[in-house]
Amino acid sequence: MNITILGAGAMGSLFGGLLAQSGQQVTLLDINDEHLAAIRSDGLLLATDSGERRITGLHACRPEQATGHPDLLLVFTKTLHTDSALRSVAGHIAGHTLVLTLQNGLGNAEALSQHVAPQQVLIGMTNWPADMVGPGQVHSHGQGMVRVLAPGSRERNASQEVAAVLDAAGLNCAVDPQVWTSIWEKVAFNAALNSLCAATGCTVGQLDAAPEGVALARSIVLEVVAVARSQGIELDAQGCLDSVAFAIAHHRTHKPSMLQDVLAGRPTEIGSINGQVLERARQAGVPVPHTETLLGLLRLIEKRAAS
């Protein structure tokens, strides 16, 4: 399969590297010139639980330099850059190109549908972890999986083909008709932990320094569960609370990406997580005071950083 990765940071490089290693033809598109230059000169240095290797043979360039028309375009920018990134590759996308988003948050399918026909859009969720450790270098420790679905049922074959390709690359991927449940469960987790850590500066483990931290996380999870229910999606509330409690107990030093963005003075993905939950909550008349407050705090933090 001829695959282009749009946004080749931590996740895009991990997926692109593993797909290239499994024999697919992969192009990485990014706007980080230092990262692209390192990959072009030395290959991608990828460290996973299977060890460290240098993956060569990846084509790496800026979006406006992309040539040809891929079979699959995998979007892995942060969600706030989806629109500008897709605009820059408009000429690279053909009628046969499938466009898959595995980004966090809600509203990603709608964002892709602004640029391609709905039958070209695939959605999904992944819990593989990845970190950029330097130009051309990505670490991913732990295990994960990918779940994908073509929202239009006519495209079932396409999603099966894409899932098979990702699975053969070792990414543990399957088509999942219940993918919206997985997407919302991850939103519940991120709406609680990412936004609380980003607003307070706490690592995940520091959230239990005061009982109020744990209580806030719990309230946000339950708000997201209620909003999901209003959209016809039944989440396992106890399972979501257990995941958050597990992370607080076991991933104590972890700094969620939203906290890393705040510390670096960058805008965050709060809009596609708490922001999208609030939008749906308002339409459905579901009160989400904690989710809304965290959204407001993060918006203030972002504005302060930008001024």
Q: Where on the chain is the footprint of ligand NAD (CB under 6 A)?
A: 6-12, 29-32, 63, 76-79, 81, 84-85, 88, 103-104, 126, 129-130, 132, 257, 269
C-alpha to C-alpha distance for 109 and 86, rounded to whole angstroms:
13
Side-chain half-sphere of 70: how many Cα atoms within 13 Å?
28
Q: In angstroms, what is the minimal distance from the CB of 81 to ligand NAD? A: 4
Q: In terms of CB distance, is 79 or 274 closer to ligand NAD?
A: 79
At 267, the amino acid letter reads P
Bridge pairing between strands 146-149 and 137-140: unpaired
Q: In terms of CB distance, is 105 or 288 closer to ligand NAD?
A: 105
* 8 Å CB contact between 204 and 259: no
Q: In angstroms, what is the minimal distance from the CB of 215 to ligand NAD? A: 25
Q: In terms of CB distance, is 128 or 291 closer to ligand NAD?
A: 128
Question: Distance between alpha carbon 161 and the CA centroid of its chain, in Å?
Answer: 21
C-alpha to C-alpha distance for 8 and 26, rounded to whole angstroms:
11
Q: In terms of CB distance, is 9 or 271 closer to ligand NAD?
A: 9
> Could you say which DSSP state residue 77 is in?
S
C-alpha to C-alpha distance for 154 and 86, rounded to whole angstroms:
24
* 8 Å CB contact between 86 and 76: no
Tokens representing 204 are 């995940």
Q: In angstroms, what is the minimal distance from the CB of 251 to ligand NAD? A: 12
Q: In angstroms, what is the minimal distance from the CB of 108 to ligand NAD? A: 8
Q: In angstroms, what is the minimal distance from the CB of 80 to ligand NAD? A: 9
Residue 153, class by beta-carbon neighbours within 10 Å (0-12 exposed, 13-18 middle, 19+ buried)? exposed
Q: In terms of CB distance, is 64 or 236 closer to ligand NAD?
A: 64
By beta carbon distance, the residue nearest ligand NAD is 9
Q: In angstroms, what is the minimal distance from the CB of 273 to ligand NAD? A: 8
Q: In terms of CB distance, is 126 or 195 closer to ligand NAD?
A: 126
